[in-house]
Amino acid sequence: MPNDQRFIDPSDIETLELEWGTIKWLSTPETTGAEAFSSGVVVLTPGEGHERHTHPDSEEVLYFLNGEGVQTIGDEEREVTPGDMVYIPAGVEHSTENTGWEPMRFLAMYGPPGPEAEIRDAPGCEVRPPEGRDI
């Protein structure tokens, strides 16, 4: 997909598969030309989550679309449900866990971009090419 796209079709974006779920980075410097942030949709498998980690140079915002889970930010832990949003300052440890019976879907945004490339290169991450749009 060329740089500077304004309308993004998820089928035109690669899917990152991890042991705990999938991610589609819909806006990155490579896809939209965005310089200040990146964003994508994360799907956590029921009963799964990712370990506590940090993004030393990027702030993060998560907006929960469906499902239910537990979000940890620093020493604070809270249940999250659709419509909730959390802000994670740069360098603060955090984790997200799906505690429900269905896949949990949320929008993740980084400012500035960068962590999405680290996740793509993480051990165990499989990259599935774009499906392409059926016309």
Could you report the per-residue pLDDT of 41-51, keeping only the tens digit for each? 999 999 999 88
User: What span, in angstroms and rounded, lies between the C-alpha atoms of 22 and 6?
Assistant: 23
Lowest mean pLDDT among 66-70, 107-111, 118-122: 118-122
Closest among 79, 96, 98, 100 to 88, alpha carbons compared: 96
Where is 118: in which H helix or E strand? Answer: helix 115-120
Q: In this model, does residue 86 exceed pLDDT 90?
A: yes
Q: Which domains does the chain have, with CATH numbers?
A: 14-128 (2.60.120.10)
Q: What is the mean pLDDT of the chain?
A: 93
* Mean pLDDT (whole number) for 101-118: 95
Q: Letter for the amino acid at 10?
A: P
* Mean pLDDT (whole number) for 95-99: 98
Query: pLDDT band for position 94 (50/70/90)?
Result: very high
**What integer pLDDT is reported at residue 10 of this predicted model?**
93
**What integer pLDDT is reported at residue 121 of this predicted model?**
87
Q: In this model, does residue 135 exceed pLDDT 50?
A: no
Q: In this model, does residue 90 exceed pLDDT 80?
A: yes
